[in-house]
Amino acid sequence: MVTSVVAGSDKMAAPFGGADDIAYAKDLWKKMEAKGLNSAPANLYVGGPPHGKVREVIEGTIDGKRVIVKRNYGGKGVSLASVMKNRGMYLKAITVMAKRDKGYDSDNADWFWVKYKPNGEIMMNPKKMALAGRVAKGTPGGCIACHASASGNDLVFAHNKDANAEIVYVK
């Protein structure tokens, strides 16, 4: 079992999918709904694994901290045109990076990672671990496996309107 000490506290933090992170993820979903991050129209673009063949990215702030929302579209017949006609039919997951307080996960720039089903339910991996929280330390996969290559940009990939699409910012 992987644990880490939260800065400024002697309390041990649970690994990825811990009770505190699940509670935070549920609260985050409600705040994303209230802010419009789950419903704001965004620019679709063609992607690939692991976030679906068609994607869109929305960014905003919640509680004064940066939140990046990636809607992931897939399924039989998915294309930019099909998603434009019926986003709900092809929406498979919503992946979120939310900045947390300094010391939350210092090794990974204090990002909180979560993957939701379209209805806001937290997704589970095949081992029934909730996909919410810190990056699971010591694992070769997961969010950080790709995002570490964006380390010069706070673990966030830069979007290019020619290669991807412009990010929509919700104030």
DSSP character at residue 64: T
Q: Domain-by-domain residue ranges, the chain?
A: 10-169
Q: 0.85 exceeded by the pTM? A: no
Q: What is the DSSP string of 113-167?
A: EEEE-TTSPBPB-TT--BSEES--TT-S-SHHHHHGGGGGGTT-PPP-TTTS-PP
> Which pLDDT does position 139 carry in this prediction?
54
> Which pLDDT does position 131 carry in this prediction?
85
Which segments in the chain show pLDDT lower than 70?
1-16, 48-50, 135-165, 168
